[in-house]
């Protein structure tokens, strides 16, 4: 996977926030927000995918190599503001230790005496991981007192958790009011790739949007119709567009309250002269199940009781024709029910197309969430330009929203950075 953070997507994005390169960390305690919200096996509780942990390594390693003592904080799951042993970060400390090749200390709480004592005793080159932030309701409430307790553990704050940058929580926004705050390499990379794709894309820019619901993507589609040269639509959300065009879709998932929005988006694309490509054939099943029989048909011939669960081969050919000369491709949302192997065929075929286009020089960006998980499962993450670690954050960024966790960081050149010359 490409590792550069400049001159991507046809032109450098305007990343004007300070990074770890812009601040001296030698001999300092660095409080770093990471995104260790990793999936856990429901039966064993073990980490089933450590992608987000591995994505944090470049920044952690840089800080350690530059003489910092690193204090890491993250959330995991939804413990509803109270301790839950099943959502402890202790197993993550073990995995991180294996990846770093050095011990990772652990504090049984993210605030309080133990956390404070362990943070104060931490030496340069050492790592401490705090317990789940969301064991405290004050985290999601962005409580100033809680934020100050977190901030007291460090001298510099680094946010490398793009996946939570759209949330104004104590650890993502509040802490930045009490410490000099800069971005980590993952945060920089995410914003540079996504920003570059929108601000200075290598054209044609083709956007692919899937997933279950139109309601999740209305604002994104509105903006992409303005910015992209063509849009390809798949997943369950395509059903709402089919019904908006007057087609009968059987028992397929449809958002009836979004039919007018669907018509508006199609009309907007038509008026702008932008191709808005819907599936021309689909795979249907008689039930929503992994063992449902896969049958191909067209969107205007869905039988009562059947439901659309994937795109068909003719759709993939049509999508491929649009992607053939694309300079930049942004994809968010699977084309079918990718957790069912029989209905993951469209998504997997699309991944293959994106790999091929990357090899031919296109910039390919996957916007997190289920589509990123599908890419990881296919073993294709390293073969694409960038796979985002942030689902909701990616969507809000594509919508054009300000991300609180980014806005709170210092701008480049801020006098508070007090960058010291390296010896």
pLDDT at 422 over 60: no
Sequence-distant (6+) residues with CB within 8 A of 373 are 49, 338
| pLDDT class of 42 with cuts at 50, 70, 90 | confident
Residue 370 lies in a domain: no
Same domain, 175 and 71: yes
Q: Are residues 217 and 160 in the same domain?
A: no
Among the residues of 173-216, which ranges form H helices? Answer: 185-199
The pLDDT value given to residue 14: 59
pTM higher than the cut 0.85: yes
pLDDT in tens, 90-120: 999 999 999 999 999 999 999 999 999 999 9
Is the domain of 357 the same as that of 411? no
Q: How confident is the model at residue 418 (pLDDT cuts 50, 70, 90)?
A: low
Identify whether residues 172 and 217 lie together within a single domain: no
Confidence of residue 15 (pLDDT cuts 50, 70, 90): confident
17 counts as catalytic:
no
**Does 302 share its domain with 355?**
yes
CATH code of the domain covering residue 36: 3.40.50.1260
Question: Which one from 33, 52, 189, 274 is the annotated catalytic residue?
Answer: 52
Helices assigned H by DSSP within 200-344: 218-227, 237-244, 259-272, 313-323
Q: Which of 62-66, 196-200, 390-394 has the highest mean pLDDT?
A: 62-66
Considering the domain architecture, whether residues 25 and 136 belong to the same structural domain is answered as yes
Give the mean pLDDT of 348-359: 98
- Please indicate, yes or no, if residue 396 is contained in any of the structural domains: no
| Of residues 68 and 399, more confidently modeled | 68
- Burial letters 402-412, b for 16+ CB under 10 A, else e: ebbbbebbbee
Looking at the structure of the chain, the number of domains it has is 2
Whether 167 and 303 map to the same domain: the answer is: no
The pLDDT, as a whole number, for residue 8 is 45
> For position 79, what pLDDT does the model report?
97
Nearest-angstrom CA–CA distance, 17 and 411: 4
Domain that holds residue 79: 20-190+403-417
DSSP bridge pairs for 258: none
* Torsion sign (Cα): 148, 150, 153, 158: negative
| pLDDT value for 44 | 87
Does 14 fall in a domain?
Answer: no
In a domain, residue 384? The reply is: no
Mean pLDDT of 150-173: 97
Encoded tokens for 195 = 């920003």
Residue 290 lies in a domain: yes
| Residue 2 clears pLDDT 70, i.e. is over it | no
Residue 96 has what pLDDT?
98
Choose, from 211, 285, 368, 369, the residue flagged as catalytic: 369
pLDDT at 419: 53
Q: Which of 52-61, 221-230, 391-400 has the lowest mean pLDDT?
A: 391-400
Query: Is 369 a known active-site residue?
Result: yes
204, pLDDT greater than 70: yes
The per-residue pLDDT for 390 is 85
pLDDT value at position 13? Answer: 53
**Average pLDDT over every residue of 234-253:** 96
How far is it, in rounded angstroms, from Cα 238 to Cα 219? 16
Task: Let me know if 235 is a catalytic residue.
Answer: no
Residue 180 lies in a domain: yes
pLDDT at 379 over 60: yes
Phi, psi for 373 (deg, rounded to 5): -65, -40
88 and 145 belong to one structural domain: yes
Shared-domain flag, residues 145 and 246: no
Query: How much is the average pLDDT of 139-148?
Result: 98
Tens of pLDDT, residue by residue over 294-333, are 999 999 999 999 999 999 999 999 999 999 999 999 999 9
- Residue of 213, 219, 263, 294 marked catalytic: 213
Mean pLDDT of all residues belonging to the chain: 93
Q: Of 11, 67, 250, 392, which residue is the catalytic one? A: 392
Assigned domain for 278 exists? yes
DSSP letter at 173 equals I
Considering the domain architecture, whether residues 212 and 150 belong to the same structural domain is answered as: no
Q: Is 26 found in the same domain as 82?
A: yes
Instruction: Kindly state whether residues 408 and 355 are assigned to the same domain.
Output: no
User: Is 219 among the catalytic positions?
Assistant: no
Contacts of 130 (CB under 8 A, 6+ apart): 71, 72, 73, 74, 89, 107, 109, 110, 115, 153
Q: Using DSSP, how many helices (H) and how many strands (E) does the chain show?
A: 15, 15
Residue 376 domain-assigned (yes or no): no
């Amino acid at each position: 996977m490409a590792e550069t953070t400049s001159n991507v997507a046809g032109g450098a994005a305007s990343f004007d926030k300070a990074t770890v390169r812009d601040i001296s960390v030698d001999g300092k305690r660095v409080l770093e927000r990471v995104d260790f919200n990793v999936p856990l096996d429901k039966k064993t509780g073990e980490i089933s995918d450590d992608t987000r942990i591995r994505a944090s390594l470049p920044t952690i390693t840089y800080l350690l190599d530059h003489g910092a003592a690193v204090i890491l904080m993250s959330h995991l799951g939804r413990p509803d503001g109270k301790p839950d042993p099943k959502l402890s970060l202790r197993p993550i400390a073990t995995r991180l230790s294996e990846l770093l090749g050095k011990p990772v200390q652990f504090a049984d709480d993210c605030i309080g005496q133990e956390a404070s004592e362990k943070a104060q005793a931490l030496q340069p080159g050492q790592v401490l991981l705090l317990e789940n932030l969301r064991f405290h309701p004050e985290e999601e409430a962005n409580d100033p007192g809680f934020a100050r307790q977190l901030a007291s553990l460090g001298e510099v704050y680094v946010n490398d958790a793009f996946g939570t940058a759209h949330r104004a929580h104590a650890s993502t926004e509040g802490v930045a009011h009490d410490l000099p705050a800069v971005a980590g390499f993952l945060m920089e990379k995410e914003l540079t790739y996504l920003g570059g794709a929108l601000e200075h894309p290598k054209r044609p820019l083709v956007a692919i949007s899937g997933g279950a619901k139109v309601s999740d993507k209305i604002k994104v589609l509105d903006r992409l119709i303005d910015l992209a040269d063509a849009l390809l639509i798949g997943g369950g959300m395509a059903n709402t567009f089919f019904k908006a065009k007057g087609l009968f879709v059987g028992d397929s998932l449809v958002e009836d309250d979004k039919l007018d929005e669907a018509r508006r988006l199609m009309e907007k694309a038509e008026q702008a002269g932008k191709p808005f490509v819907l599936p021309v054939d689909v795979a249907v099943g008689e039930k929503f199940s992994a063992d449902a029989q896969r049958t191909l048909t067209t969107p205007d011939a869905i039988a009562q009781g059947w439901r659309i669960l994937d795109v068909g081969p003719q759709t993939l050919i049509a999508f491929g024709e649009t992607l053939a000369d694309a300079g930049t491709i942004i994809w968010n949302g699977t084309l079918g029910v990718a957790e069912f192997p029989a209905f993951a065929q469209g998504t997997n075929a699309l991944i293959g197309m994106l790999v091929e286009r990357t090899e031919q020089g296109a910039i390919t960006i996957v916007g997190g969430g289920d589509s990123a998980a599908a890419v990881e499962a296919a073993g294709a993450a390293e073969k694409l330009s960038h796979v985002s670690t942030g689902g909701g954050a990616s969507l809000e960024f594509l919508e054009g929203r300000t991300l609180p966790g980014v806005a709170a960081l210092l701008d480049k050149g801020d006098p508070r950075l007090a960058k010291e010359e390296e010896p």
